[in-house]
Chains A and B, each alone.
Chain A
């Protein structure tokens, strides 16, 4: 079965702390894509990153970084020096079956306190 698990339902941190959001996925496909989306209180889903299954290089974009490890089927997301504006629900997602199917995890609600 294709599945995305985000074990952390809610996380609270104080501004400037680093925080890591966990994502574990399951798929039988050898070719697939992984994504992170941010959903602020306004409701829209904002695309953050995609990673294909053949590229295990970690990526850094400003305060954001992603750690993809196929051996553990994980695609974790770290925010460095968190800010109040980072408060949102973050979803990890998996695209499989050659892009024909797309499944989201349950989300992690991040609250960054001033």
Chain B
């Protein structure tokens, strides 16, 4: 597609519920990133994929967070047993490759706003 597409746009979950957030990167983009943006803060790195390989998951805040990209295109970020502190906007970004992404800047989606009540 022309841009990075994320769904759903908004998600309200009850505490303890599992959620799945979807990211469709730009076609042909090798690298895919997930960021978490808390209210009033800058985005913070969660995890990085190169094709289907998850090369860096150092930013995932707990083992309740899990991401996958099984065919090297669409990615899903899953949060198990959601907590109130998980409320944030989850942004997905893609680039042709990681190093060139840093050169040219990543292309971001509009994000999924997760509210845990």
Contacts and interface: CB of A to CB of B under 8 A. Distances in A.
Interface of A: 4, 33, 35, 37, 42-45, 47, 50, 52, 91, 93, 95, 98-107
B110 interface: yes
B105 A100 contact: no
A42 B103 contact: no
Interface residues on B, range: 20 to 34
A102 B102 contact: yes
Contact of B110 (A44, A47, A101, A107): A44
Contacts of B104: 50
Given A4-B42, A43-B113, 6 more contacts: A43-B89, A45-B93, A101-B45, A103-B45, A104-B43, A107-B42
B41 A106 contact: yes
B99 A99 contact: yes
B103 A45 contact: no
Interface of B: 33, 40-45, 89, 91, 93, 98-111, 113
| CB-CB nearest 9 A-B residue pairs | A99-B102, A104-B42, A95-B102, A45-B108, A99-B99, A47-B105, A44-B110, A43-B110, A43-B111
A102 B99 contact: no
A44 B105 contact: no
Chief secondary structure at chain A's binding surface: strand
25 contacts: A33-B102, A33-B103, A37-B105, A37-B108, A42-B110, A43-B110, A43-B111, A43-B113, A44-B108, A47-B107, A52-B103, A91-B42, A99-B98, A99-B99, A99-B100, A99-B102, A100-B102, A102-B33, A102-B102, A103-B45, A104-B42, A104-B43, A106-B42, A107-B40, A107-B42
B44 to A, nearest CB: 7
B105 A99 contact: no
Nearest to B55: A100
A104 B107 CA distance: 14
Nearest to A4: B42
B47 to A, nearest CB: 13
Nearest to A10: B40
